[in-house]
Structure 1
Amino acid sequence: MSNTERLNRLTERIIGVCIEVHSELGPGLLESVYEECLCLALDAASISYVRQGSVPVVFRGRAIDQGFRFDLLVEREVIVEIKAVEQIMSIHKAQVLTYLKLTGVPLGLLINFHVPVLKEGLRRLVNPASGLDVRIPRPFTISE
């Protein structure tokens, strides 16, 4: 199985867990509530993650902690950034792309739980430096 296929399967599993959380809670809660419930659901699905990890900026060989923190790093390969906003804006996408660049993680999921149907709030972002084939080789469908 290729790296792209493996990451596609992992993102499908993550999205499935997010759909479960959204189906149970619905929109309208704080990001912190969705994060906590998502962690419980990932635990139940035996999917490993790091929560609220620091994202340092490296300048001239020195790590500078400027307070950047990702919400979740799943299986050390996918950064999940949780939002509960009216709509995803370009600054949210830029935030995830910055985290991908600074960490070297290949893939990010931007999940907005403040939508009636979760598939409307999903964005999959690829680290341009990862070398991943950004095309999805088979139909990538999300149902809720």
Structure 2
Amino acid sequence: MSRGDPESYAVIGAAMEVQNHLGRGYLERAYQEALEIEFIERKIPYQREVAVTLHYKGRQLGAPYRADFVCYGSLLVELKAIPRLGDRDRAQMLHYLKGTKIERGLLINFASDRLEYERYILS
């Protein structure tokens, strides 16, 4: 992955650093704040809590969702702190990618002993 997608590799490395320092057992918000610090230290460009709007028949639906991060302007990063990733979490990632028109995403889970992540590419 590092050759074909160095940006995803950089974000995963930052998440691994957070996992190594904090371990498991915290709420998602703690991991989000720690990962933001890691992004700053590593000079990874990011936006936090990016609005994801949904459309129906050309009309914007009222309540936008919030994606945890968009890094490099083209990599959506969604964080979890749950026992294991499920279909609902995967569906959320796909909806966020479609809603933002971003083609790459990382779903990262901090609640296990080792960092769990899944990479998504829409085409």
Smaller-chain TM-score range?
over 0.9
Amino acid at match of 2:107: L
Residue deviations 1:103-124 (CA, integer Å, cap 9, x gap): 1101111100001011xx1111
* Paired residues for 1:22-61 under 5 Å: 22-61=19-58
Query: 1:76: how far off?
Result: 1.1
1:108 aligns with 2:111: no
Residue equivalent to 2:64: 67
Give yes or no for contact 2:54–2:60 (8 Å, CA) kept in 1: yes
Per the TM alignment, residue 59 of structure 1 is displaced from its structure 2 partner at its CA by 3.1
Q: 1:9 deviation in Å?
A: 0.7
What residue ranges of structure 1 are gaps of 5+ in the alignment?
131-144
Q: Which has the larger radius of gyration?
A: 1
Query: Does the 8 Å CA contact 1:55/1:65 hold for their aligned counterparts?
Result: no
Give the drift of 1:41: 0.4
| CA drift at 1:65 | 3.3
Q: What SS does the aligned partner of 1:50 have?
A: strand
Q: Does 1:124 align with 2:115?
A: no
Deviation per residue, 1:38-92 (Å, 9 max, x gap) = 0010011111111111111123443223231101011111111100001100100
For the Cα contact (< 8 Å) 1:57–1:63, is it kept in 2? yes
Secondary structure of the structure 2 residue equivalent to 1:51? strand
Calculate percent identity across the aligned residue pairs: 33
Q: Which amino acid aligns with 1:13?
A: A
Matched, 1:20 2:9: no
Number of equivalenced pairs? 121
**Maintained 8 Å contact 2:14/2:39:** yes
Structure 2: runs of 5+ lacking an equivalent: none
Instruction: Tell me how large the CA RMSD over aligned residues is.
Output: 1.3
Please report how far the alpha carbon of residue 37 of structure 1 lies from its aligned counterpart in structure 2 after TM superposition: 0.5
Shift of 1:125: 1.3
Aligned with residue 86 of structure 1, among 83, 95, 99: 83
